Structure 1
Amino acid sequence: MLPDEDGVAAWLRYGALPAEQAAAYSIKTVTVLGSHDETSPVASAVRELVDGVSKILGVTVSLTSDTSSLSTSIVVAIREDYLAAGNTLSASATDFLDHTDGYWVDPQKTLILGSDARGVLYGAFAYLSQLAQGTLSSTPFGSRPRAPVRWINQWDNMDGTIERGYGGRSLFFEGGRVVEDLSRVKEYARLMASIGLNGIVINNVNANPSLLSEECLSQGVKRVADTMRPYGVRIGLALNFDTPRTLGGLETSDPLDAGVVAWWGETTKRIYNHVPDMLGFTIKANSEGQPGPLSYGRTLAEGANMFAKALAPFGGFVFYRAFVYDHHLREDNPKNDRANAAVDFFAHLDDAFDDNVVVQVKFGPIDFQVREPVSPLLARLKRTKAVIEFMVAQEYMGQQSHAVYLAPEWKTILDFDMRVDGRPSLVRDILSPDGPFGWPVTGYTAVVNVGRDTTWLGHHLAMANLYAYGRLAWSPEAGARDLLDEWTRLTWGTDPVVVETVGNLLMDSWPAYEAHSGNLGIQTLCDILYTHYGPSPASQDGNGWGQWTRADQHGLGMDRTVATGTGFSGQYHPEVASLYENIETTPDDLLLWFHHVPYTHVLKSGKTVIQHFYDAHYEGAATVQTYPGRWEALRGKVDNARFEHVGFKLRYQAGHALVWRDSVCRFYHALSGIDDDKKRVGHYTHRIPLATASANVALEGYSPVDARLPEAASNGKAVQTDKDVPGKVTITVDVPQGTYDVAVNYFDTSVGRASYTISLNDKQIGEWSGNLQDRLGHDFSEYLDGHSATRVYFRGISLQKGDVLTIVGQPDKEERAPLDYVSLLPEGIVD
């Protein structure tokens, strides 16, 4: 039996190679050329090699300064030190070592060179990665990053919570200060360096001004920087625009006020006194109610430039988020469109920003949806530097309770051709100093929500997203499946069955999630007014947030054309604009993003929009039903602790995918009045709704109650106990004799931990608790809705007509043991 693992080591677990493979290597020592102190990334590289090679090959490896036996040693050096020792470089090696952070590895000489100290560390990790996967090249290889900015944005709060955090509390903060024990921060820096990430903004963009207090800077922020620096990771800070007023005691935060300018100058100097190599500041302003320069009648450029001037003497940059929009839009105005905001607010300022301002642009025009077109602002800022922002935190994508591998979606963005001035302009090329705009500072940021949970993100499989993000930030032309297979071999082992199974499952996951959560470009149909987790298509419209679908009884979709709509399509360069302006050339997967159509509009597939919705939601949910069985096939091939963790999550996901499917299909069926051609929506052959009067169902101590979202429960109703005493539901079975899976759909809210037993003919066959808030990390709901709706199975139950199933629910606090329906499913059937 394989030893259990908790996940903290992630893809740096350095699993041992099979003995016959390990025997091919004769490494005994690591030799480093040149002198490097313990805080240097070179020293970190040496430590990593000694530890990693020892574990992978099952040998004892030591550090030596003896250069007489290099045949059994890994030689590590910065290029200058290597040349100073009398060595020469090939032209191939020079191509990589002439660039910042580049590296060159010669496996035959067991030589690892870096253009600089970070390059040495990246080369060491590249060597160890291939060695651990059993894929070490027999010929020399090198690499260099396509972009200099490869950063993470944490959304950690100083009280220890994490905004959109699903993997435990903050690694960095607790109780208003930086934590004393930074050991997990060190491990995080290792993970970052191993995938080529070189910067991190450690706090939430909705920043707490107290982070800038002298005590917090000197006793906390400095220690974080010192902990991460040996891994080539520099830190930055997110700032609240209004800090001069709220922390500094000034009467204003006007960026043109001399007192404000002086205050930020002195504050920036204080920060650099403690962290001399700080990256700079990330600013979120004039968005979602945040104060900013517009609050004082100043331009966004004037606000950004104030910070830029304070940072300039120290070589720092201000990363100014383009996430600026009015969240009180009037939906009754057909020209209003939140998607227009980034270009409307920033494009005309292209010449107005200081040289050390970088505009941080979300990959799509709205907010990390399941599918969006590329933000047109990335092709409109020609002189102002920009970086793209992705989101590893699955805010709209199952919140790490659902396994959704995001790299395939990111690739649709990076590989898209923006056709700037009629020339090939892939997004990944725009985000390179070698690209059409020649930005010397450009690249990648991502919102990441690692926490203190040993899984880091709350789900072992979610770590594939962090790994892929870092690797794509380094090499955006890499393939999503190739990166996934790398991660699987490093994280789960090199067994081909494991690699194939995990790879196939996760490559299916984004298409399946899109299919059952919101397709044809309609966005993720989650509850945007509450937790952003479960289904609530009605929440998209009738509010000021601007994530509208404009769904009514006739049709749905946003008309974003220039001719008749909001004009958004015209923000792209002409070739792309004409593609999206014309409904005939708009890809079906973005149809409803750009066009409002009737439900009966015929797609290129030949289906109507509404029938596609029904079919896609059923097909996507059906794919998710296969996940538990596919994972079960790996029993014994991965360690039991992680196997059980993932198995539980995938079983939950399978049940919740049915909630998504049913909720969305019911909503649009009711709104459109158009039946499903296949007679599935509203017709559930195997279900017994418990709130519907029936001769087969008896309630004792239970009463019907309306669900918060009608589409989230059978006929809009559930049952719950009348008060804080147990209730009983009795079902007289009316099915042919056979073996069935008994599925119970219930609501697991955040306001209690109800408990349940289920019996057949007075003999208990199972029990469960409404305690998912202790086992899953997503944002929970206190209501009976699509967030809290879930399912539990009791499999292989022998039933015949006249049998009696009894469910007893014990309420806890305000959770009154709510139930929706029971399904009696012949084996192999999913209702």
Structure 2
Amino acid sequence: MRPLLWIASALAVARAEDGLDGWLRYARLRDCHTGGQLDDFATSIVALNATEGAPLHTAAHELQVGIQGILGLELDVSDSVTDKDTSSIIVATAQAYEDEFGSLPEAVDLIEDGFYLSNKGDDTVIIGSNERGALYGAFEYLSMLAQGNFDEVAYSTNPDAPIRWANQWDNLWDNGTHGPVERGYGGVSIFYDGVGHVREDLSRVPMLGRLLASIRVNGIVINNVNADPTILSERNWDGVEEIANLFRPWGVRIGMSLNFASPQTFGGLDSFDPLDDQVIDWWQGISDEMYERVPDFAGYLVKANSEGQPGPLTYNRTLADGANMFAKTIAPHGGIVMFRAFVYNHLADWTDWHADRANAAVEFFAELDGQFDDNVVVQIKYGPIDFQVREPVSPLFSTLRETAMAIELQVTQEYLGQQCHLVYLPPLWQTILDFDLRVDGQESRTRDVLNGNVFGKKLGGYTAVTNVGMDPTWLGSHLSMSNLYAFGRLAWDPTLDSGAILDDWTRLTFGLGRSVRETIRAMSLESWPAYENYTGNLGIQTLTDILYTHYGPNPASQDNNGWGQWTRADGDSIGMDRTVRNGTGNAGQYQPEVAARYEETETTPDDLMLWFHHVPYTFELHSGKTVIQHFYDAHYAGAETAATFPKRWETLRGRVDDERFEHELYRLTYQAGHSLVWRDAINEFYRNLSGIPDVHDRVRHHPWRIEAEDMTLDGYVPVDVEPAETASQYRAVVTNGTGTAATTLDFPDGTYNLAVNYYDVVGGNATYSVALDGKTVGTWQGDAEFRLGKFPSEFLDGHSAIRVTFEGVPIRRGDELVVTGVADGSEQAPLDYVSVLPLGVVD
């Protein structure tokens, strides 16, 4: 399809408000928002020297379609100025504008991908340093119009860094474990068919290109870093070429992840030694064919010698040897190699007090500084572990003085609620980007390392694991799309305010209503602190199950294994000792001023205390609380915040279209219930481990709760749950057919919210009902695996735990409550407990 038809197709779908157009809905402005601004609006669009299929041509037609949608005006597109007495929107490259008009406006000051926008005077002028920049300027102008902003402006804006890439972890094969998209919660791959090939239907690719271009993302890696060598098959070459062709009109260049062992496992060679001439020649052939097919190919992404992946260390070569081999094959074509610093031993000895996965990046890469070719960029995760809810900045950013670097963020919420929990990520990212690394005792923000201001390396920037899918919401949740939008905005300008970015996204996604914007802003900005509170705080990391789905609570899984995400929790104390004096030495990997701060508990901030220090549960924090009491209080506070989200969203009923409203209401209601699972599991685990009670007597004290195993059971039988703390009182009940759990209520007469906690596992869709004195209060089905994008669970655990609530239920003392469950397949209608909650009470 031609670019204009792709735009029209995307906009046509957006009218249904299913989320496919994201923030590019181009909803019609009301007259009150245009304020008479249309009287003197441009009558045409002029795209100087535009050629079909190129970004400038796309920009012109995007302006045409966007203005028709936003303002209801139909503007013609031409390639030259024909009537100088009428106002036009002129979009051009700097060279084309100068050729046409003799000189550039005085305020034009552009670098690669930058643009100038002016709507002062008779014409609106959009000038890009290149065609991609012109397209970015067109999107900027449409964003202003879509938000009802008709202010006069004249300015140039340039990217903070040249690399602004998405990393898409798509698999060629559906292996039944991770599925077509590893850590993907928005459906199957838009690129691959799950049986080893590029999809025949690539209609979603240009739609994604449009979204990426609108936030100024200029590259995308189209396959998993755990790369399958068969991406290099002849059939897939044709598909990769087609993907590149579909992204090209949007100025998005493609990159590819490579499997280091491909010359041997796919190419038939005896070796994949990066210094072997035959191996080098094999890769040179691959690179030459790639550029013959895709002349604007961006480059390679390589994960080597990490988590079982092959790499140069197999042959006692250095990581630099491996990176440079690839770099030399694509340097003549202008390509770059993104070489991941995520290299560590996942079979480490956890009993070794001095072992520390957090040290790995510096240990592997520091001695290689200056040995990488100029077109190699070391891609570094924002923290030393793995996308945790709170980590210090990676010390590698202040270590590699002679090597180009890019940061790796994660839009997909692998450890952070998997798009089922609202977690707005930019405030987390900005703790990293704004951090002062104090290189040589001077102010050295992480963002200034990435843009080259600190070490003088101009090739650097931003990457993010995006993991979109075929779901019309792209990521599985409408609200999670704010993170994708914000990534692009921050990659262009990392000094932007997270709240201001969110306001723009909300107006573009849900309209200009003040109550909608204020509600989404408040919830979103509270979401990361709330999630940190009810999952893992004080720098202990996200206390999720690292051995299974990275989703629900399982603090015990952190220790006693080789993965290195240790808490070293025992009956007396908790936290990693990362001091130089007595621990792993991780604090000493930072620059001296930062190292000195982290070395001592007196100067380590509370939010990283357990990252750097192993302390007793009774250790007093700067806040005045003990560590264990902070845990109890924070987990209750986080769950209390999450409990407010559904009610706050409910205030927007009728102000947000029904489809998207109900979609998010389900998720926010789920989050409110699941935050209680998190709260109780973590608090119970550490209460058991430490033996120290909650001073407020909340932990283990649930006066409104009725345990399923304590009810009168017919057809149900009690079972133990693992981990035990993910069930109230450690047990649940299950049935192989139809079961009932009954009890006589002993609560004062009144109106209550009736909540049922149960487990929703894969393998069936059990049905449930709850009744009072024979009258049905409500029914439901265990079908969350079809309504939530998270990685499903086949066990009764913290991943499958879920709650349903019936509000405003009249109850009298002596009423008989009966919960009935009907098993389906392997889902045995499991129940945990019932809560009878006075209005306004959070269990």
Q: Aligning the two structures, in what range does the TM-score lie when normalised by the shorter sequence? A: over 0.9
Aligned counterpart in structure 2 of residue 260 of structure 1, from 273, 276, 279: 279
Write the distance in 1 (CA, Å) between the matches of 2:86 and 2:608.
57
Aligned counterpart in structure 2 of residue 392 of structure 1, from 386, 411, 416: 411
Give the corresponding residue for 1:77. 92
Per-residue Cα deviation, 1:717-759 (whole angstroms, up to 9, x for no partner): 11111x3x20111111111111111100001111221111111
2:580 aligned with 1:562:
yes
Give the corresponding residue for 2:517. 499
CA contact (8 A) 2:739 2:820 kept: yes
CA contact (8 A) 1:3 1:639 kept: no
Aligned counterpart in structure 2 of residue 705 of structure 1, from 694, 716, 719: 719
Aligned counterpart in structure 2 of residue 778 of structure 1, from 779, 786, 790: 790
Write the distance in 2 (CA, Å) between the matches of 1:353 and 1:79.
35
Give the corresponding residue for 2:479. 461
CA contact (8 A) 1:4 1:642 kept: no
**What displacement does 1:215 show?**
2.0
Give the corresponding residue for 1:325. 344
Per-residue Cα deviation, 1:325-378 (whole angstroms, up to 9, x for no partner): 000110111000000000000011002111211111000000000000000101
2:398 aligned with 1:379:
yes
1:65-104 paired onto structure 2 within 5 Å: 65-69=80-84, 71-93=86-108, 95=109, 97=110, 99-104=111-116
Write the distance in 2 (CA, Å) between the matches of 1:30 and 1:513.
49
Aligned counterpart in structure 2 of residue 602 of structure 1, from 620, 638, 641: 620
Write the distance in 1 (CA, Å) between the matches of 2:201 and 2:189.
12
CA contact (8 A) 1:250 1:260 kept: yes
Per-residue Cα deviation, 1:774-810 (whole angstroms, up to 9, x for no partner): 1101011111111111100111111111111111110
Give the corresponding residue for 1:210. 230
For structure 2, the 5+ residue unaligned runs are: 1-13, 175-179
1:738-757 paired onto structure 2 within 5 Å: 738-757=750-769
Write the distance in 2 (CA, Å) between the matches of 1:822 and 1:73.
65
**Structure 1 residues 432, 70: CA separation in 2 closer, same or farther (over 3 Å shift)?**
farther
For structure 1, the 5+ residue unaligned runs are: none
**What displacement does 1:499 show?**
0.7
1:428-577 paired onto structure 2 within 5 Å: 428-433=447-452, 435-577=453-595
- Give the secondary-structure state (helix, strand or coil) at the position aligned to 1:336: coil
2:332 aligned with 1:313:
yes
CA contact (8 A) 2:414 2:551 kept: yes
CA contact (8 A) 1:4 1:640 kept: no
Give percent identity, aligned residues only.
56
TM-score by length of 2: 0.96
- The aligned length equals 819
Write the distance in 2 (CA, Å) between the matches of 1:748 and 1:684.
23
- Give the secondary-structure state (helix, strand or coil) at the position aligned to 2:91: strand
Write the distance in 2 (CA, Å) between the matches of 1:660 and 1:131.
43
Give the corresponding residue for 1:817. 829
CA contact (8 A) 1:150 1:470 kept: yes
1:231 aligned partner, one-letter code = W
**What displacement does 1:89 show?**
3.2
Write the distance in 2 (CA, Å) between the matches of 1:509 and 1:339.
26
1:690 aligned partner, one-letter code = A
Stretch deviating more after TM superposition (339-348 or 76-85): 76-85
Aligned counterpart in structure 2 of residue 238 of structure 1, from 257, 262, 286: 257
- Give the secondary-structure state (helix, strand or coil) at the position aligned to 1:642: helix
2:261 aligned with 1:249:
no
**Structure 1 residues 584, 539: CA separation in 2 closer, same or farther (over 3 Å shift)?**
same
Write the distance in 2 (CA, Å) between the matches of 1:502 and 1:34.
40
1:762-801 paired onto structure 2 within 5 Å: 762-801=774-813
Stretch deviating more after TM superposition (31-40 or 219-228): 31-40
Give the corresponding residue for 1:128. 142
1:189 aligned partner, one-letter code = G
2:799 aligned partner, one-letter code = H
**What displacement does 1:253 show?**
0.8
Write the distance in 2 (CA, Å) between the matches of 1:649 and 1:21.
32
Stretch deviating more after TM superposition (30-39 or 634-643): 30-39
- Give the secondary-structure state (helix, strand or coil) at the position aligned to 1:785: coil
Write the distance in 2 (CA, Å) between the matches of 1:182 and 1:123.
27
Write the distance in 2 (CA, Å) between the matches of 1:69 and 1:492.
38
2:216 aligned with 1:196:
yes
Write the distance in 2 (CA, Å) between the matches of 1:451 and 1:258.
40
Write the distance in 1 (CA, Å) between the matches of 2:389 and 2:803.
24
Write the distance in 1 (CA, Å) between the matches of 2:45 and 2:801.
58
2:424 aligned with 1:367:
no
**What displacement does 1:182 show?**
2.0
TM-score by length of 1: 0.97
Write the distance in 1 (CA, Å) between the matches of 2:558 and 2:643.
27
Give the corresponding residue for 1:334. 353
CA contact (8 A) 2:42 2:86 kept: no
CA contact (8 A) 1:562 1:570 kept: yes
User: CA RMSD, aligned part only?
Assistant: 1.2
1:657-676 paired onto structure 2 within 5 Å: 657-676=675-694
Per-residue Cα deviation, 1:162-219 (whole angstroms, up to 9, x for no partner): 00010000011113111122221101001001001000000000111011112211x2
- Give the secondary-structure state (helix, strand or coil) at the position aligned to 2:480: helix
Give the corresponding residue for 1:35. 49
CA contact (8 A) 2:166 2:466 kept: yes
**What displacement does 1:438 show?**
1.4
Give the corresponding residue for 2:245. 226
Write the distance in 2 (CA, Å) between the matches of 1:652 and 1:4.
25
**Structure 1 residues 322, 3: CA separation in 2 closer, same or farther (over 3 Å shift)?**
closer
1:121 aligned partner, one-letter code = L
Per-residue Cα deviation, 1:487-536 (whole angstroms, up to 9, x for no partner): 00000001111111111110000000000000000000000010000000
**What displacement does 1:394 show?**
0.2
Give the corresponding residue for 2:37. 24
Write the distance in 2 (CA, Å) between the matches of 1:587 and 1:20.
49
Write the distance in 2 (CA, Å) between the matches of 1:131 and 1:649.
31
2:701 aligned with 1:683:
yes
**What displacement does 1:4 show?**
4.5
